[in-house]
């Protein structure tokens, strides 16, 4: 079975960059926590990066849902803008392109042509 491997790999790499951006955002949250401002808001970037990575894996593992996985990759790429520094822009672009490629991917068609024979009724006498 053919798979959207290119879209999946781009989304996987984009997810890694988004996780790195989310890690930077979480470190800023840790610095704020030293001053008494506790919030789990800063961990959202890590979660978005992890979910983008999982969607990239699902693109390769379950190609029948390529449209859903592509839409989710685009959504997570857009969500990474405010929560993960857009994955240092590289992660955003890779996940966005991977999502677009997954939506545009068409599974190969079968190359078998079947023809049914038709019977013609005999002429009336």
Q: Is the pLDDT of residue 94 over 80?
A: yes
DSSP annotation of 43 reads G
Considering the entire predicted model, what is its pTM? Answer: 0.85
Find the farthest-apart pair of alpha carbons in the chain and give their distance in angstroms, rounded: 102
Whether residue 113 is predicted with pLDDT greater than 90 in this model: the reply is no
Query: What are the domain boundaries of the chain?
Result: 7-104
| C-alpha span between 115 and 125 (Å, rounded) | 30
**Whole-angstrom Cα distance, residue 71 to residue 41?**
24
Give the mean pLDDT of 76-93: 95
pLDDT for 111 beyond 80: no
List, for residues 38-69, the tens digit of each pLDDT value: 888 889 999 999 999 999 999 999 999 999 99
Q: Residue 46, SS3?
A: helix
Mean pLDDT of the chain: 91
């Amino acid at each position: 079975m053919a798979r959207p491997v290119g879209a999946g790999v781009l989304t996987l790499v984009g997810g890694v960059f988004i996780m790195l951006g989310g890690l930077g955002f979480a470190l800023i949250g840790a610095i704020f926590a030293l001053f008494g401002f506790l919030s789990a808001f800063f961990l959202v970037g890590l979660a978005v990066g992890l979910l983008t990575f999982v969607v990239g894996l699902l693109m390769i593992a379950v190609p029948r849902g390529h449209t859903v996985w592509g839409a989710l990759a685009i959504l997570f790429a857009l969500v990474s803008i405010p929560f993960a520094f857009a994955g240092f822009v590289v992660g955003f672009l890779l996940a966005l392109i991977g999502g677009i490629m997954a939506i545009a991917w068409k599974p190969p068609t079968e190359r078998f042509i079947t023809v049914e024979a038709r019977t013609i009724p005999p002429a009336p006498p």
